[in-house]
């Protein structure tokens, strides 16, 4: 089930579907990544995600692999933002069908 929800998240993010992403996030959602450091709260995190969506014309988010372990899924991803190609791992912590926390690990371009 979590693998299917993870694929739904990937599709929503890839489609720049902010409402689709929002539907998957817990109210107490926490986002950690190298760019934003740590954001607590669903609405603040959605602001950061919306900023990513609006920062580029072409966005592509795809999974090389998805792994599931208990209430955690791991996405090995490729994220393309216009001409920038990023590879990394998202670790999603799930609670009752919602993403409680996303920790993203990737190297940002200098």
What are 6-62's pLDDT values in tens digits? 999 999 999 999 999 999 999 999 999 988 899 999 999 999 999 999 999 999 999
pLDDT at 110: 67
Cα 29 from chain centroid (whole Å): 11
Cα 71 from chain centroid (whole Å): 16
pLDDT at 45: 96
Per-residue confidence at 107, pLDDT binned at 50, 70, 90?
confident
CA distances from 60 to 15, 39, 55, 65, 81 (A): 8, 23, 13, 15, 7
What are 75-102's pLDDT values in tens digits? 999 999 999 999 999 999 999 999 999 9
All structural domains of the chain, each given as residue ranges with its CATH number in brackets, are 2-106 (3.10.450.50)
Q: Which helix (H) or strand (E) holds 64?
A: strand 59-69
């Amino acid at each position: 089930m979590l693998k299917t929800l993870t694929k739904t998240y990937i599709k929503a993010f890839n489609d720049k579907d902010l409402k689709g992403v929002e539907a998957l996030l817990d109210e107490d959602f926490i986002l950690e990544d190298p760019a934003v450091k740590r954001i607590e709260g669903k609405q603040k995190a959605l602001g950061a995600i919306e900023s990513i969506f609006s920062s580029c014309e072409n966005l592509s988010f795809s999974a090389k692999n998805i792994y599931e372990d208990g209430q955690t899924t791991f996405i090995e991803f490729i994220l393309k933002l216009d001409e920038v190609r990023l590879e990394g791992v998202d670790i999603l912590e799930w609670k009752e069908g919602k993403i409680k926390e996303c920790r993203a690990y990737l190297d940002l371009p200098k």
